Amino acid sequence: MPLDLNKIKEALKELREKSKKRNFNQSIELIINLRDIDIRKPEERIQDTIELPNPIGKKVNVCVFATSDLALRARRSGADLVLERDEIEALMNDKKRQRQIAKEIDFFLAEAQLMPLIGRVFGAILGPRGKMPRPIPPTIDIEREIERCRRMVFVRTRGQPVLQCRVGTENMDDQAIAENIQAVLNLSLIHI
């Protein structure tokens, strides 16, 4: 049964009253302790990307692997990094730059035809981080996809039965944070 938005707002109000004021915009993270789940079993592990109804209040960097027209549209749409085929191939033996890109970028989109090349070049770097690109067709509305990525969070269980993700920042409206929390909880209930 999903949590009521009013109860979430009450908890946020209490959080704001009890938290110490800092000289920076603090993140608000949701931590969910899971019971009766054995994360040693692969079928009980959770690893998913959740699209939130509201942006999380911090910059989310998006990289698009694309060719020709799609690459041009991605640049115009505000992608933080656009890599075309020749640029991807140039990174083949530059592991340091690959790690730097993986660290700086939160989400990756890739034109479907480039996926085999991206797998060869970036697979060993992006795979373990859970950041492999999502394949997209060349005719997609790339601006809408980039904006969707900017509202996404990645959740997964690791060594303990706990899900943790950022749902906003302290300068956000309680309603927006509560809606983000409810979206994560609703998806978590589906997995459990």
CA dist 136 and 96 (Å) reads: 27
What is the reported pLDDT for 74? Answer: 94
Give per-residue pLDDT as tens, 66-119: 998 999 999 999 999 999 999 999 999 999 999 999 999 999 999 999 999 999
What is the reported pLDDT for 147? Answer: 92
HEC letters along 113-163: HHHHHHHHHHHHHHCCCCCCCEEECCCCCHHHHHHHHCCEEEEECCCCCEE
What is the reported pLDDT for 2? Answer: 53
Q: Which residues of the chain have pLDDT under 70?
A: 1-3, 188-192
